[in-house]
Amino acid sequence: MCGIVGIVDAGGVSLPLYYALYALQHRGQESAGISTYEGTTLYKHKEHGLVADVFTPANLQGLKGTVGIGHVRYPTTGLNLPENIQPLNFRFRNFVISIAHNGNLVNTQELRQEYERRGQIFITTTDTEVIAKVLIDELNRSGCIEDAVHLCMRRLRGSYSVVMMINGVIYAFRDPLGIKPFCVGKTHGGYIVASESVAIDALNGTLIRDVKPGELVRLDTDGIHSTQIAVCSCTAHCIFEYIYFARADAVIDGVLVYDVRRNIGKKLFEECPVEADSVGAVPDSGTAYAIGYAQGSKIPYVESLMKNRYMGRTFIMPTQREREKAVRIKLNPIREHLRDKEIVLIDDSIVRGTTSRRIIEIMREAGARKIHMRIGSPAIKSPCYLGVDMPTRAELIASDKTEDQVRASITADSLHHISLKALVEAIGFPEGKLCTGCLTSCYPVGIDGEHACERKVTFVDGTYQSHLKSFTKVNGGA
């Protein structure tokens, strides 16, 4: 639940990085940071807060150079501490390194304890620093960045899209399962790699393609250079990116998120039609779904809740109390559209249930006669260990309740979650190429106490690695 970007631009990178991070603000609202490089000097600025608050014209002017990386953070691993704000910056021998990461490792503690036994000191509590230690350890041994990334892919388990700047060159790599999104594009003055294509759009650039799972790309003034480090037997793209987390105008792994959500809305009507006066959305997360439902049902789409655009995303606010308090400030009912009306209300997901219940209460107070809740994801029954903040089953309302029990809890007149089959069809990938752990309790990597669906990763040197166990040499290749 973070956003990362790396840019090479002959005209300077501080402003392009700022605009790109602004476009990725939905991926993290806790802190923001930029590192740039000119000559032999690393320039950096990072603080807690939103992008617009962290950066000023003065400090952007001080971020000199034509190469840089940036990060917006929401912490799924690591505490809310100043030292955890990324990018993390290191000097090691002849290397000046800045690194930022989106994702979540499941073997962070195992690796951290190993390096601490060797005498390594950790400054942060992030898994990004663990990735940096693995990289630097191999750089110390071989001096080769490609070898260092190769070692990372062998040693890291979990989700990771990583961007790093080493001596003024941008390197970026994505885990072999392709769990978190990552793409590369062309701008007027250079090249960009970013979590979502919307960052490229913000610079009026051109999306070239996604960073392939298991690929290392290098960006410099000569262009984009690619090395395939590893290939997975089957990808595991995060299904929640399509459901909620990515911006609707993003293109992820070749798929426009808005079209996925609109198709989900149509399928919601096909699976569970109902007569109503209007279709409404929980803005903005439910809007594309509601438009699709209205198109499929021929029931008019009417806004019944108006969003305060200056509020952040309540899902990623740090505490449940803050999320609940924010709902009434964030959403104001349009009484004339609700009074004595029967409404189909559509949202992307129900996680804890408290927000949905509060929204329905607000609508009933405004005069709605009946509220039929339709949800663009199947019931979320299991935690996410790979980068979305759903840490325990105790927090998930559907983990121990039937759909009708959830309906009663949120006080809706009816409730329907889209089926997994229909969701997968709307995305356009086979279910086996998606991570559905939060919906099925079957994860693409080995996690203690959880069921895993094995993926085999093949490396370019003819070895392979199961994400459930360590790699093994295969004679003659895999």
Positive or negative: CA dihedral 470, 471, 473, 478: positive
What digits encode the pLDDT tens for the residues 232-283? Answer: 989 999 999 999 999 999 999 999 999 999 999 999 999 999 999 999 999 9
HEC per residue, the chain:
CCEEEEEEECCCCHHHHHHHHHHCHHHCCCEEEEEEEECCEEEEEEEECCHHHHCCHHHHHCCCCCEEEEEEECCCCCCCCHHHCCCEEEEECCEEEEEEEEEEECCHHHHHHHHHHCCCCCCCCCHHHHHHHHHHHHHHHHCCHHHHHHHHHHHCCEEEEEEEEECCEEEEEECCCCCCCCEEEECCCEEEEECCHHHHHHCCCEEEEECCCCEEEEEECCEEEEEECEEECCCCEEHHHHHHHCCCCCEECCEEHHHHHHHHHHHHHHHCCCCCCEEEECCCCCHHHHHHHHHHHCCCECCCEEECCCCCCHHHCCCHHHHHHHHHHHEEECHHHHCCCEEEEEECCCCCCHHHHHHHHHHHHCCCCEEEEEECCCCCCCCCCCCCCCCCHHHCHHHCCCHHHHHHHHCCCEEEECCHHHHHHHHCCCHHHEECHHHHCEECCCCCCCEECCCEEEECCCEEEECCCCCEECCCCC
Of 2, 152, 238, 438, which one is the catalytic site residue? 2
Which pLDDT does position 471 carry in this prediction? 33
Confidence check: pLDDT of 314 > 80: no
Confidence check: pLDDT of 28 > 60: yes
Which pLDDT does position 320 carry in this prediction? 58
Give CA–CA dist 472/344, Å, rounded: 54
In the block, tokens 């806790």 appear at 30
Which pLDDT does position 328 carry in this prediction? 74
Q: For the chain, which residues make up each domain, given as ranges?
A: 3-236, 256-427
- Judge whether 2 counts as a catalytic residue: yes
Q: What percentage of the chain has pLDDT greater than the value 90?
A: 84
In the block, tokens 């003055």 appear at 189
Q: What is the mean pLDDT of residues 147-158?
A: 95
The values of phi and psi at residue 275, to 5°, are -80, 135
Which pLDDT does position 39 carry in this prediction? 93
Name the pLDDT band for 74 (thresholds 50, 70, 90): confident
Which pLDDT does position 101 carry in this prediction? 96
Confidence check: pLDDT of 131 > 60: yes
Confidence check: pLDDT of 408 > 90: yes
Confidence check: pLDDT of 316 > 60: no
Give CA–CA dist 458/477, Å, rounded: 9
What digits encode the pLDDT tens for the residues 279-313? Answer: 999 999 999 999 999 999 999 999 999 998 776 55
pTM: 0.91
Name the pLDDT band for 171 (thresholds 50, 70, 90): very high
State the maximum Cα–Cα separation within the chain, in Å, rounded to a whole number: 72
Give CA–CA dist 12/203, Å, rounded: 13
What digits encode the pLDDT tens for the residues 190-242? Answer: 999 999 999 999 999 999 999 999 999 999 888 999 999 999 989 999 999 99
Confidence check: pLDDT of 475 > 50: no
Position with higher pLDDT, 139 vs 391: 139
Class of domain 256-427: alpha beta
Q: Mean pLDDT across the chain, nearest whole number?
A: 92
Fold entry, domain 3-236? Glutamine Phosphoribosylpyrophosphate, subunit 1, domain 1 (3.60.20)
What digits encode the pLDDT tens for the residues 415-458? Answer: 999 999 999 999 999 999 999 999 999 999 999 899 998 788 99
